[in-house]
A and B are shown apart, each in its own frame.
Chain A
């Protein structure tokens, strides 16, 4: 038993009472009633803690409390880590797992595993022998943003409290990176556009491109080859994601790597334009230096003077369905309604432009704060 009023589908085209009175003006408590049932998505997050993962053997070059600027090398990543067992008594009595060990006159002794090493990270001790994570080749881990190191945990990660604000996405692929934000792709249509590989040139080197709704793996690969540092896109299809990840994996295996490159996905896997309020932020940031962090997936920028006004309280966006990507004004609750496919869903009235209100499932809507 529910206390829900079910209205017949035949009335779906009829404007609701709210639209005739309050929704047109878009203000007043009645017009906004039920709006808090619509999921809220924050456009910007405040100070964000960005994590750079470390594996055993990686060497942190910063300490907790250090203030760092963008581009600081915060760690050395061991490419070919292996286990070496040390002879008894080589490490000090106070040594603990996670400590660095360096040869001090004595050579590392090969016991059952590994070759000798001159330095490494202590992993565990057994029967008086320390096991060491060591390797020959390292590569630098750069922090693409300014901030303060909050925590350094050998073998686990480095947490940096980023300076500035963050525009959150749902996923980021690749390595953290930074660059000048450019409204790329088909510039006439930043929200809906797609990136074609033929539209890329070296003039975009060093930039983070805002693409719009769609990008394919070929364009991503070419963008990286052209020196582009990152891409911001609304949706990345599973196939393109898989192909890009395979390409990324090959890049990591290569001895001479290109610059870090990241893809920030704002919405999901299907094609839809970038949300208006998010696009407005990106437009304001055009030309500024921004960073893409992978954990959490976000675009981070330090522009304290940049004022960003939130959208009107009744501004809603349709996430999926027939009106996917459309944005309009909330015009009140519509109750449970019947939709295509024979499902009955809680709905709300939404006004698109000057058109009559349309009922949209509440779960397909999102608002911004």
Chain B
């Protein structure tokens, strides 16, 4: 390679998926040349070799222009796979934290902070469990980190038992030198006691602020927990950084929703004002993974609520277990629909776990990412987002199809990261379309009319309350959607007449006239029929 490489590889090595993208420099700009994703159990080197080979076979001239061809014009994909610079994001393995406190009141904010930072959370209070059980839970080999906390100053209900809690933790921690222990709030005072009894430790002993410290409340503890959990190259943490840069580059409010194998990510970012940095809020929720390690009754119920397949609970549980064991298998047939039902259930958990982000102003652009959406057609993905993220407003929807946001976020320098995004932004986002969700639609024969003025002409549509209207608007095309509602609705502001700029995509323009929040029949068969009717028109590639 020369000192000034014209191509590099961006690798996202996740728990379920390995993805490789080839980035080349064309006319002084980095462009996405190609990408490929396979199950994580495959060889990552084999994946890269195959990607380079395909690029060479598809466009030898382009391959030559980015320096892949040798002097004789041939492409040695094996050699190139070894020599090309790599930018890699690697998922941190899921880790379990045991959150301990004297009372459930004190435990709540501690556990909430851990839940928002990607930990698998277990909870224990001295009030609810005896010292023997608490000791057993602390000694459980599956626990990687212990967070023990109290208010600062401790509440009246905590003070009397704080000493006992510290004694139990000290006794357990002295047996597990590998355990990382975080003391939050008033438990800081017991550091000496734990330290003196621990001997030689490989795990860390850390002091953390109280659960409510920071602005906004809890942010200080969240930041610490986030740093402990994932390394710098964890793709979810990195994607959170990249979303801030993306908001700056596009000068729009951006929200990233990622549903992955081990966790879900919700990152919201607003562009900086007056030269300041973008403001980003990132939540990583382990419970919002595609399928949890153990499919409980609650898991089955959540997926069943979105399923359009006539499966009983036992069969669905088996399918979910298979999905967990072999996340890429069984997509053929109704497997893709099952994944999307599981993705909806996971998104519901993600949204419920992040109420502060739901309270922010609606984003202009929602980017979806993760294996949950990888095999579904664009319109079906758009509907899944509309089903769960029910906020009145208009959003543009796009997909991080090559899983580049996580990889770009790994770039440590913020300016370089931003520059890479400026070059690649047009390539890394696949436009899925626009979604318009008016709030406060009343029942009736007609809610009003929609006129879409696009470059190719205008179309007029009657708006039927409770339904979905899809307007064909191909990727790359922009249009103005003029709404004339019969009654006053909420669409950003309250009114009856709106003109909204929309952009096209694989799913076109989706006007969602259903209730906000979505109301579905209680009876499972009717619910399934209704969901199927909504999805049927959008699953365009489905066999009929």
Contacts and interface: CB of A to CB of B under 8 A. Distances in A.
B58 A3 contact: yes
A38 B329 contact: no
Contact of B337 (A36, A125, A155, A341): A341
B314 A341 contact: no
Interface residues of A, number: 62
Interface in B143-182: 163-164, 167-168, 170-172, 174-176
B39 A39 contact: yes
Interface stretch (B257-265, B274-282, B317-325, B498-506): B317-325
A123 B375 contact: no
Interface in A120-136: 122-127, 131, 133
A341 B336 contact: yes
A156 B314 contact: no
A57 B32 CA distance: 59
> Which of A51, A238, A338 has the most C-beta atoms of chain B within 10 angstroms of its own C-beta?
A238
A83 B130 contact: yes
B55 to A, nearest CB: 5
B175 A37 contact: no
A126 B164 CA distance: 7
A333 B36 contact: no
B333 A364 contact: no
B175 A153 contact: yes
A174 interface: no
B332 interface: yes
Given A82-B132, A156-B141, A1 B175 contact: no
Nearest to B428: A1
B534 interface: no
Q: Which of A5, A239, A322 has the most CB of B within 10 A?
A: A239
A56 B333 contact: no
A81 interface: yes
A343 B174 CA distance: 54
A136 to B, nearest CB: 15
Contacts of B174: 96-98
B171 A36 contact: no
Nearest to B41: A39
Contacts of A341: 331-337, 542-543
A1 B141 contact: no
Interface residues of B, number: 69
Contacts of A126: 163-164, 167
B228 to A, nearest CB: 22
B136 A38 contact: no
B136 A155 contact: yes
Contacts of A204: none
Contact of A268 (B47, B321, B402, B427): B321
B539 interface: yes
B131 A339 contact: no
A118 B185 CA distance: 39
A277 to B, nearest CB: 16
Nearest to A271: B318
B33 A3 contact: yes
Interface string B51-92: 100110111000000000000000000000000000000000
Given A319-B329, A341-B542, A364-B332, A156 B139 contact: yes
B474 interface: no
A259 to B, nearest CB: 26
Given A156-B176, A364-B330, A1 B321 contact: no
A338 B336 CA distance: 13
Interface in A126-174: 126-127, 131, 133, 153-157, 170
A263 interface: no
Contact of B135 (A124, A239, A346, A364): A124
B268 interface: no
Contact of B322 (A41, A157, A320): A320
A37 B42 contact: yes
Contact of A36 (B43, B130, B328): B43
A362 to B, nearest CB: 6
B135 to A, nearest CB: 5
Contacts of A110: none
Contacts of A237: 314, 318
Residue among A2, A123, A238 having the largest count of chain B Cβ atoms under 10 Å: A2
A270 B331 contact: no
Given A37-B38, A269-B321, A363 B328 contact: yes
Interface in A19-65: 34, 36-41, 51, 53, 55-57
Contacts of B326: 268, 319-320, 363
A269 B322 contact: yes
Contacts of A123: 131-132, 135, 168, 171-172
B332 A56 contact: no
A361 B321 contact: no
B204 interface: no
Contacts of B336: 341-343
Interface in A320-349: 320-322, 333, 338-346
Contacts of A82: 132
A270 B175 contact: no
Chain B CB within 10 A, most for which of A55, A133, A320, A344: A320
A4 interface: yes
Given A123-B132, A269-B322, A341-B336, A3 B329 contact: no
B200 to A, nearest CB: 13
Interface in A74-119: 81-83, 96-98
Contact of A361 (B33, B36, B131, B331): B331
B36 A83 contact: no
Contacts of A366: 41
B541 interface: yes
B492 interface: no
Contact of A2 (B36, B42, B47): B36
17 contacts: A1-B33, A2-B36, A3-B22, A36-B45, A57-B132, A96-B197, A124-B131, A153-B176, A156-B141, A237-B318, A268-B321, A270-B319, A320-B330, A339-B332, A341-B331, A363-B329, A364-B332
Q: Which 9 A-B pairs have the closest CB atoms?
A: A124-B171, A3-B34, A39-B41, A36-B46, A342-B541, A363-B328, A126-B167, A320-B330, A36-B43
Interface of B: 22, 32-36, 38-39, 41-43, 45-47, 50-51, 54-55, 57-59, 130-132, 135-136, 139, 141, 163-164, 167-168, 170-172, 174-176, 197, 295, 314, 317-319, 321-322, 325-326, 328-337, 375-377, 401-402, 427, 539-543
Given A96-B197, A123-B168, A155-B136, 19 more contacts: A2-B401, A3-B51, A5-B58, A36-B42, A82-B132, A98-B174, A124-B135, A124-B172, A131-B167, A153-B176, A156-B175, A268-B322, A269-B322, A319-B329, A320-B332, A343-B331, A344-B541, A346-B36, A363-B38
